[in-house]
Every structure is written in structure tokens, then in C-alpha cells.
A and B are shown apart, each in its own frame.
Chain A
């Protein structure tokens, strides 16, 4: 199937609550980040909420930007891996094959989003948490790279379930059924209380964007948002992070709307 999975992040909705971070942590068997890990700068968070301060006191605003692997169509991390541990699959995902990885960390240097993490230590869990590990996700040993997978295990499982129940595993079928949609969407999307994150098949949008063409008629809710916000450079809020690097990310951000901007727009008519 020619899907190209993508995510939409509406920064106007993000409150920086970190629910996505916790959900990701428990879904993907990410080791517990203790204080010493942060102090060593070796904490692993596949999704992290970056917080920036904008403006001068007293008009200071906190900006929250959730950053995770952007699953770039032209990913700088892919060609530099000597052992094909990271490559692009047919669903537009930038996948990491843990068994192949020898840990050169070249990919991490290539990534402009800092979305890749290295296991400096053997991962450990407190005794009480050993039973909560997700059996569908490999526990990574030390010495290898890891990063956001768009919860590929959920995609695989749901596709199998859809084939069984609906006889079809296409994105349309899955997204027509809210239960299946919920099963397929990454943990962070399901956990987000404000609907900041929207997951979907962006194939038509991303390929049109890559070819420099007009975006076609949207096929699903995610594509609708992309088309609305990315097509119109003037009024649309859509952008992709570090687009000038030519990486063609699959994640589309919708910029924050400030109260002042809206008021100004209204007063000017």
C-alpha cells in the first residue's frame, strides 16, 4: 500500500502538558529517565516538548513545540548509515533496524532535528515496572540508536486486525472506523488531551509538495488540514521545520495564533 504516514502538530492547541511524552515512554519501552540521565544529557525522549521563551518581561510567552522524528522523505540520517540500520520503508516511515545498528552515531550527527537517541547504558527498569513492558516493542540494548517510529507496532497490529475484520487494510478503511483509527494512531496522538496531534496518511499531499505541485483534493481529515493550512502561504498556518534544509519532513506544524494578532486582524477588518 502506498501510504505515507504523517503527523500534524497544531501549536495553537499545545499546552505543553507532556502527556504525549509519558504515553510514548510507556508505549515504546523507553527506559526511565532519572535525574542523572538528564544531568549527563543522555535522557531518551522520542517525543519532547521544547519550551521557548518569547518576548521581554512582562510580556513573556512560553512557546511549546513538540519535536520528534520528522520521518523525512529525504532524510539526512539514511545515506550515512554504513550498515543500513536506518532506511525508508514503503509507508514513508524512516525505520530503525535495531539488530543491524552498530552504533556509529553518524545518523545522529546528520539529523538537524536532534530526533535520534543513543543508548549509552544498558536500559534498566525498577522491579515494579518490569511487567509493564510492551511485548510488541523490542527492548533496545546499549550501544544502538533509537528514535520515534510513529508507533509502527500499532500500525502493523491494526492493519492485521483490519484485514481480519474488514477484509481490507487501506488507510481509508481504517480511518472510517474510529476504533481502528484509535488503535492505529501513535500513543502520543491518543494521549493528547487538546487534539494537538493529528495522524494520517499524507501520501498525496507530501508527494505533491515534494514535486512542487498544487496540493490535490484531500482524502481524509489530516489531508484536509494540510491542504487548508499549507497551500496558502499567506494565510495558512502550516509549515515544516527547517524546510530550507530540503529534508522534506512528514510532519506539518501549524503555527501559534496570538491574541494580539487576531485582535489586530479584526480591528483592521
Chain B
């Protein structure tokens, strides 16, 4: 089924290093614009730090707002890199080859973006480091019972693990850049980065083993990170609608849904912006869209279970909350947008082969999914915090302020900027992986059928 374009190594080098050794014309304006957005966001953060959290829309009882929504969203996006790379690598799915690098890099940058908001949103951000088990001055260790202590440890572990993952896979490509760099300083930079890579059999073996080992080790971390993020909410009994046992798997599958969608979006952008259509084929979109149908439907099942068991309790406050989420303005509108964009538009569209194989439609549907998934986190977090529950004297409302919106926009710009800068320094599609796929590929005929085959040691 995979129609295949066999390319020689020279063409691969030329195509894929195009972004590194040359610069597309749109690159600089885009980077400048994103830098502007990032600095505006950082300025907003500085203002918030100076004046206090009063400049946000947070209040009592809505103590967590856009910042936490955004945190969960980016943690979710970050799950795609590992999902695509580790799982597909371990199961030896061939279609992973062109997408792994971009997915992993997105993991790293979205994790950094995810770290922004919770670190910014605390009352005294200059003391954030107190949540780490590092403390010589106070003599007090962090409270290990708190999910906010599990969170930073898990996210940092994940960040370190996935950075290593990116780096290990990058080494052979860095050597290629080193060999082709004209400028002596650039050459020195890449010589240092590629750690003396010569491509000897021993080096290849170590690189492959390290990749597989990291895939296997990073998977439990990936599961733990989002489970812990979900427990930030689920362990709390003070807020109706959060105390649900399904939260950990529900968050994970939701993260995979939004994350894999984001990878498909990146693939479509690669085709559109870097003209990588020789490497990212319609078949790749087809494979990822099929995966997305399964993931989205599983996610929907978990969503259904969460609702069923919330209503099964037949408790007043829980039902009031669900009513608020579905029927009361503005949550009703957000809910409809969420459920339609996260499931009911994209999945029926992916049922059509023509949509699955079109970069344009995949771009549209996956953006929709991520709009929906951002709103999903909003719908979970905010209506619960409005506290339409016993002791109803404190019903809340929440309107995000311009500061929050700027900081949220900053995280999006930050990830895009990070990816663009990365693409200037390193190839976004792994050269060695593509070459390996091309070299290992065989074809043979059975009757009228052409069967692709791969080489196994």
C-alpha cells in the first residue's frame, strides 16, 4: 500500500539539510514575529510578578484558571513525541521514520512551555525551587504527599529523558552537517556536538541500543507524568467533578489524542512550509489518521465513562456541575465547540480516505482537535472551581484577564519559535533513519501483488 519513492543518499542530504544549510525566505519574518509575542508574554509575566496575581482574572473560589488549563494542554501535547517515537520504534512501524524527530522536539519544547505556566502562576514565583527536594537553608523538605511535588519531579525527569532521546537520535545527522559545513566555526560547533561520530559499527550499535533503551525507559515516565498531572485534580475532594478515579487514564488518552494530532499537524506544516512531500507521503498521513481514529474513539469512551459515573452518584452538586457545563452560558457554547471539534467533526472526516491522504485536510482537522482539547481542559477545570455546591455562598465567576491571555499566547509562540530555531540548527527529519528505511527496503512480487519487505538482522 505504501507507494514509495526511492531516493539516493545525496538527494536526501540535500533535501533534508536544506533548512539547516540554507534559509527559507519566510523563516526570518516568522521568527521575528514569534519573538515579539514571546517577549510580550514575558513582559506580561514581569508585570504580574511586580503587581501580584491581582492582575489576572483569578479570584475566590476560581483559584486556578487559564494557567493550569494551559499547563495540562502542553503536557498533553508533549506526550505525542514519546508516543510516536518510543511505541512505534519498539513495534517497528515503518511509517514512523520521517515523523519521529519533529515529534520528539515538539515534546521537549512543549514540556518547557508547560513548565512556564505553573511556575508563573504561583503567588511567589521566586520561591518555586522550594518544591524540589533541595533545601539547605530552610531545613524543611518538600511535602512528598503533595501532587505538586510529584509533578515537578516527573516533568523534569521526562524533560531530561526526552532531551536525551532527541540528542541520541541526532548524533549521526550532526556528523553529516559537520562534514558539509563551510564555515569553520559552524564546523567546530557540530564537531563538538556530534561527539566524534565516525559511523563505525560499534558507534551505530551503541546509538541503536541507547535509542531502544531510552524508548523503553521513557514510556513509564510518560505514563507517570500525565497521571500525576491528573492527580493534581483527582485527589482533591473539595471540588465537585474532579474526584474521579478515571482521571489518570482519561488524561493520558486525551493527551495522546491531542499530541498525535499535533504531530499530524507538524507533518502537514512540513509538507507545506519545507516542501518535504517526497518524505512525508499521503500514506504517512493515512497511517497517522487511522491511529487517530482509534485514539479518539478510546478517548471518547473514557469521556463517556467519566460522565456516566458522575451522574450515577445522583448527588445534587455533581448534577448541578454537569448542568452548568452543558446548559449554562458561556460553558454551554464552549462545551458544544469542544465536543464537536474534539470528536464529532474530525473522526467522521477521517473515515474518508481522501481526507486521510490530504495534507490540507489533516492540517485543518488536527488544529480543530487541539482547539477542542484545550477547551476540554477548560471545561474540566473552571466549572468545577465555580463551586456550585454545598456552602454555596461563594459561587464564582471567571473572566481571564489580558495578562493571562498574553502569557498563554506566549507559550504557543515559544513552542513555535523553539521548533523554528531548532530547524535552523538541526534537520527536522532524521536523515539516518530515512536512509536506513530506504536501504532496508526490498520489494517482491507474489502473483500480481507487490509486497514491500524489510531487512531483519
Contacts and interface: CB of A to CB of B under 8 A. Distances in A.
A43 B396 CA distance: 13
A92 B387 CA distance: 28
A143 B53 contact: yes
A214 B102 CA distance: 66
B143 A42 contact: no
Contacts of A67: 391, 393
Interface stretch (B175-183, B212-220, B233-241, B447-455): B233-241
B277 interface: no
B53 A120 contact: yes
A108 B63 contact: yes
Contacts of A113: 391
Nearest to B389: A112
A80 B52 contact: no
B53 A142 contact: yes
Contacts of A83: 130-131, 140, 142-143
B239 A109 contact: yes
B387 A102 contact: no
B278 interface: no
Contacts of A108: 60-61, 63
A82 B146 contact: yes
B64 interface: yes
Nearest to B60: A41
A144 interface: yes
Contacts of B59: 40-42, 120
A82 B148 contact: yes
Contact of A80 (B138, B236, B394): B236
Nearest to A117: B60
Contact of B385 (A42, A81, A109): A109
A245 B315 CA distance: 13
A101 B123 contact: yes
Contacts of A117: 60
Contacts, number: 134
B12 interface: no
Interface string A107-134: 0111111100111111000000000000
A241 B60 CA distance: 20
Interface string A252-266: 000000000000000
Interface in B370-406: 385, 387, 389-391, 393-394, 396-397
Given A102-B123, A112-B391, A121 B147 contact: no
Contact of A42 (B51, B54, B123, B130): B54
A100 B123 contact: no
Contacts of B393: 48, 50-52, 67, 114
B122 interface: yes
Given A100-B138, A110-B236, A82 B143 contact: yes
B441 interface: no
A76 interface: yes
A76 B54 contact: no
B238 A118 contact: no
Contacts of B51: 121
Given A100-B140, A109-B238, A112-B238, A143 B146 contact: no
A80 B147 contact: yes
B127 interface: yes
B123 A80 contact: no
Interface in A84-119: 84, 100-106, 108-114, 117-119
B145 A79 contact: yes
A151 to B, nearest CB: 22
Given A108-B60, A112-B237, A121-B52, A41 B148 contact: no
A102 B63 contact: no
B174 interface: no
Contacts of B396: 41
Which residue, A43, A50, A81, A114, has most C-beta atoms of chain B within 10 A? A114
9 contacts: A40-B54, A48-B393, A83-B142, A100-B138, A102-B127, A106-B147, A110-B236, A114-B60, A142-B54
Given A48-B393, A242-B390, 19 more contacts: A42-B60, A51-B393, A79-B235, A80-B145, A81-B148, A82-B148, A83-B130, A100-B130, A105-B63, A106-B232, A108-B60, A109-B63, A109-B239, A112-B237, A112-B238, A114-B60, A114-B61, A119-B52, A143-B124
Interface of A: 40-43, 48, 50-52, 67, 76, 79-84, 100-106, 108-114, 117-122, 142-145, 241-242, 245
Interface of B: 51-54, 58-61, 63-64, 122-124, 127-128, 130-131, 138, 140-143, 145-149, 232, 235-239, 385, 387, 389-391, 393-394, 396-397
Top-9 shortest CB links A-B: A103-B123, A143-B123, A41-B59, A82-B148, A105-B63, A120-B54, A50-B393, A142-B52, A79-B145
